[in-house]
Structure 1
Amino acid sequence: MEAIGYDRVSAYRFERTRLMLAEAGVDAAILFDPLNLRYATGSRNMQVWSSHHMVRYVFVPVSGPVVLFDYGGAMHLSDSNTLISETRPAKSWDYFGSGSRAAEHATLWASEIADLLREVCGQDATLGLDRADLLPLRALDRLGVHVVDAKGPLELARSVKSTEEIEIIRGSMQVCTDAITFMRQHARPGVSENYLLSLLNQYNIEHGGEHQETRCLASGHHTNPWFTEASAKIIEAGEMLVFDSDLVGPNGIFTDQTRSFVIGDCRPAPEQRTNYALAYEQLQHNLSLLRPGLTFEEYIQASWQMPDLYVPNRYAEMVHGIGFGVEYPLVYFRQDAPAWQYPGEFVEGMTVCVESYIGAVGGPDGVKLEQPALITSTGPVALSDCPFELDYL
């Protein structure tokens, strides 16, 4: 295949952003979320830190110049970025930096944004925000700026990948698969959960990855119910080890793969074998359903029927999108759909993860499996070749 054109990928994402904003009736958006900012402009800076300090944002109009507001002293980072027309110092109202002057600083922020919006888009322009903090939102309201939610248009933009984006995702997924292989070489009785988690991070960062979003690696009784974070617990022979990689790999791609296996030279116990077989059956059945045009409701109705014994400990969802993070779409289990499921359908070019967790309430352990896949015109194509424990079946 022709070498990936990263400039073409950035241009595709930028145009997707503008297209979805226009379709939503938004004249310009201020993007605070580091994932949205990176998607729309290709610019990154202290991504984890800026996710909880609103000190970095970008003005993206449907038509007109893109203005990046970056953290003080970092404006030079985007000098070569052709999508960004101008870089200005960011104004922050976060209490740690503004203290009792937070409301004052939020008003200064809103005044600059209102002036920019009206200069580029006109007096009655609509501004989209992907995050709404109380003080600046009130300040925009006082200035008469019409503000709407921009999160939806950005989620829709990010949900359909270009051919070259898919290749970038494949490459990052391979680093994740290799990190799992590296970790498994050291997964033996007597090591701690924290130690194995550190190895995933070590390999990922050494090979161009960026960070890890969660600490979901557990063993033995920590695996049931799910979501117990990695700890100093020592792993024993015969215990099930379950991990959700959740690595942000090269190029910022969220590489979400989950596997489970028994530690040591042990065969799985009967209940472990049953859990694994059911989780694998659920995963493969739900993967096979994916196709363009299938509605979320149709998917729910056709999904694998979980035995009642395991329903109380079911995972949060059956399917979620994947790219820079967990993203649109999300499809819930039938038990949760009446309260939470929204309408929609799968589209060619979406990259998603299919989830499975099996663990009886009060059981000694559980099994979680997850597989990323691309939705093509002919059905799903796996984005990872990380092996399963087929000899457990």
Structure 2
Amino acid sequence: MFELPTTINEQRVRAYRLQRTRELLAKFNMDAAVLFDPLNLRYATGCRNMQVWTSHHLSRYVFVPVNGPVVLFDYGGAMHLSDDLDTIDETRPAKSWDYFGSGNRAEEHAGKWADEIADLLRQTCGRNAVLGIDRADLLPTLALQQRGISMRDAKGPMEMARSIKSLEEVAIIKNSMQVCTDAIAHMRQHAKPGVTENYLLSLMNQYNQEHGGEYQETRLLASGHHTNPWFTESSNKIIEDGEMLVFDSDLIGPDGIFVDQTRAFVVGDRKPTDAQRRLYAHAYEQLQHNMALLRPGTTFQEFGEKSWKMHDIYLPNRYAEMVHGIGFGVEYPVIYYPEDHETWQYSGAFEEGMCVCVESYVGPVGGDEGVKLEQPVLITRDGPVPLTTCPFEESYL
């Protein structure tokens, strides 16, 4: 049985992540990569800066070679953020071509960006080096092509790198998950008839940020008829006595961890109805059945074939996937329902060290309510180990 460390060596965590990045870039036949995605940049370097804003303004990026110095290009005035990071050898001001900042000079500015990257790539990796890019706009991509740079998609190696966690990473995830569990408990104390969905959502956010968390990725907290079908976002709907409350935490907790937990319970003093109990029991049964299948070496195809057989009345409203990886966000792998395998499912197998979320949503077509449950687990050689202590409503079963 594995044993998690009680203290975290952050320098060792950063070194592990950078080494994983370099190993996977080499495995995918790339000599270096420019990473724009804030999650990939943070993974490779340990440096964060305005993660939400820079997810839609590509004004921050990092050059990571398989061999050679790592160069961070940070937003103007923010270069001091990486002063104490051993993973970054040099910091330069970032160049941007976004139209809001460049206007009719956008193409010119993209060319200057490409000149600097092409020079850095050739100086570090040689004239025929292959460059990976995880995200790119049209103008800089065209500019690199015009300069004869051979490019490949770096999303694959970055997803694969992030999918296997060290024991220290697992300890970080568990610590962050506890903040989420506590945020849920705090919210639940105020979940009473007469409050709004938005009010309860704000309480989880408040607790998370007060305890080192960062932000929330979605607004998935719903009650009553908003729970079926799923994906109705939180609103000013007043929650009534006896309604089912369903929420997908989707918080970014301490250390940037995506603390993805989903629970459901009946609000107020009323006992759950037979219909609510049935929905909850089926969702819980699906969750437990599928969780037990998670073993190293089990292929995604095998998992789909052995997964819980969803009742016909629930199939049209099924969730997007049965399993997805977690770390800084929703990550590789994603396992779809058997009905969607022909369209979406790729090959692969579960591995020891993966952290994944097992999903269940049960909502009958035309029904009043639905129930969603989700459990994050670590895959070990002995099977899945829960990453959260957040309780289920066992009295409903």
TM-score, length-scaled by structure 2:
0.98
Tell me the number of residue pairs that the alignment of Structure 1 and Structure 2 aligns: 393
AA at the equivalent of 1:197: L
- Give the drift of 1:224: 0.3
Residue in structure 2 matched with residue 106 of structure 1 by the alignment: 110
- Specify which of 389, 392, 395 is matched with residue 391 of structure 1: 395
- Matches of 2:233 and 2:267 in 1, distance apart? 18
Residue in structure 1 matched with residue 241 of structure 2 by the alignment: 237
- Specify which of 342, 349, 356 is matched with residue 353 of structure 2: 349
1:276-322 deviation digits (Å, cap 9, x = unpaired): 00000000000000000000000000000001010000000000000
- Give the drift of 1:57: 0.1
Residue in structure 1 matched with residue 332 of structure 2 by the alignment: 328
- Give the drift of 1:2: 4.3
1:318-342 deviation digits (Å, cap 9, x = unpaired): 0000000000000000011110000
1:38 aligns with 2:42: yes
- Matches of 2:131 and 2:11 in 1, distance apart? 27
- Specify which of 215, 222, 226 is matched with residue 222 of structure 1: 226
- Specify which of 78, 86, 90 is matched with residue 82 of structure 1: 86
- Matches of 1:72 and 1:139 in 2, distance apart? 23
TM-score, length-scaled by structure 1:
0.99
Identity of aligned residues (%): 71
Residue in structure 1 matched with residue 31 of structure 2 by the alignment: 27
Report the secondary structure of 1:261's partner residue.
strand
- Matches of 1:215 and 1:173 in 2, distance apart? 18
- Specify which of 138, 141, 147 is matched with residue 137 of structure 1: 141
AA at the equivalent of 2:338: R
- Matches of 1:341 and 1:227 in 2, distance apart? 22
- Give the drift of 1:83: 1.1
Residue in structure 1 matched with residue 7 of structure 2 by the alignment: 3
Residue in structure 1 matched with residue 298 of structure 2 by the alignment: 294
Gap regions ≥5 residues in structure 2: none
Residue in structure 2 matched with residue 318 of structure 1 by the alignment: 322
1:277 aligns with 2:281: yes
Residue in structure 2 matched with residue 376 of structure 1 by the alignment: 380
- Give the drift of 1:132: 2.2
Residue in structure 2 matched with residue 92 of structure 1 by the alignment: 96
1:360 aligns with 2:364: yes
RMSD of aligned residue pairs (Cα, Å): 0.5
Superposed, 1:163-312 pairs within 5 Å as 163-312=167-316
Report the secondary structure of 2:181's partner residue.
helix
1:49 aligns with 2:53: yes
- Specify which of 122, 141, 147 is matched with residue 126 of structure 2: 122
- Matches of 1:2 and 1:196 in 2, distance apart? 33
Detail structure 1 runs of 4+ shifted over 3 Å in the superposition: none
Report the secondary structure of 1:197's partner residue.
helix
Report the secondary structure of 2:219's partner residue.
coil
1:5-24 deviation digits (Å, cap 9, x = unpaired): 11100000000000000000
AA at the equivalent of 1:217: L
**In 1, are the aligned partners of 2:36 and 2:136 still within 8 Å (CA)?**
no
1:41-88 deviation digits (Å, cap 9, x = unpaired): 001001111111000000000000100000000001111111111100
Residue in structure 2 matched with residue 159 of structure 1 by the alignment: 163
1:136-180 deviation digits (Å, cap 9, x = unpaired): 000000000001000000000000000000000000000000000
AA at the equivalent of 2:293: L
Residue in structure 2 matched with residue 66 of structure 1 by the alignment: 70
AA at the equivalent of 1:350: M
Report the secondary structure of 2:339's partner residue.
coil
- Matches of 1:32 and 1:203 in 2, distance apart? 30
- Matches of 2:29 and 2:162 in 1, distance apart? 18
1:119-138 deviation digits (Å, cap 9, x = unpaired): 00000000000002100000
1:12 aligns with 2:11: no
- Matches of 2:7 and 2:171 in 1, distance apart? 10
